[in-house]
Amino acid sequence: MDIESLTIAILPVLLSPEQILIALAVIIPTLVIFNLLLVSEAVFESIGLRFYQAVLVTAGVLPGSLIDIPLVSLGGATIAVNVGGAVIPLFVTAGMLLSSRISRPKALIAVVIVSLVAYTFATPVPGLGITMPFYIAPLTGAVAGLLLARGCRAAPGLAYAGGTIGTLLGADLLNLANPEVLAALAGDRDTVLSIGGAGIFDGIFITGVLAVLLAAYAGRSLREKGGVCPQEKAE
């Protein structure tokens, strides 16, 4: 009795150019977001959050970016705060202050410094929002954290607090407190002005991540050279 042998071959399926473009349009943003989330998780751990806390905060940013909490209505404009882009950074900073991982007076000084710089460089753009060069707030927050912590391990936490809260106050709230700026941003139609409204890609969230990375890297370099925090050099 003859038995026929069948071979199962996995053959490559060629995609059309349109399918390739669609695949890339899905894959590339997914990889970018995934890697950004991995980095942000490490950042939150570096400022004192436990692993599960860092995971919860990081995972909450994406769904939180879809939630705006209305605060007040001014004319035709509704001022709202975004959960992912503003509320979560506020809670993270409050947690560091309550647990004394960072000094409250130094955190206040860092916030004031970043607020003044952010207010100086922020530009309200009708129909777009409030814009600012992406490197201004992270650099200012990192420098403020390093100077206030004298290069020690508290620098990343101070950089995060100063960078996020300082950007919220200086770039957003101080500008929105100006009736002329508010009217220009709102225009003649009913508008929701969401603070931190872009979620993971909002300047406030990115500022916190970059400020911590810059402060952590620069602080480690300073400790390795032995110029600051000699007691931490061997840690």
Rounded Cα distance, 234 and 170, in Å? 38
Task: Note whether 208 and 163 are within 8 A (CB).
Answer: yes
Residue 147's CB is within 10 A of a number of other CB atoms, namely 15
Cα Rg of the chain, angstroms: 23
Q: What is the pLDDT of residues 120-157, one digit of tens each?
A: 998 888 877 788 888 899 999 999 999 998 867 889 99
Domain ranges of the chain: 17-227
Among residues 176, 199, 198, which one has the least CA distance to residue 186?
176
Start-end of H helices in 65-103: 88-98
pLDDT at 107 over 90: yes
209 has a pLDDT exceeding 50:
yes
pTM: 0.81
Instruction: Compute the Cα dihedral for 220, 221, 223, 227 and give only its sign.
Output: negative
In whole angstroms, give the CA distance from residue 185 to residue 128. 8
pLDDT at 148: 92
Instruction: Name the E strands within the chain.
Output: 68-74, 77-82, 123-125, 129-131, 191-195
- Dist. CA 97–CA 47, nearest whole Å: 11
Is residue 114 pLDDT above 90, yes or no?
yes
DSSP assigned state of 189: S
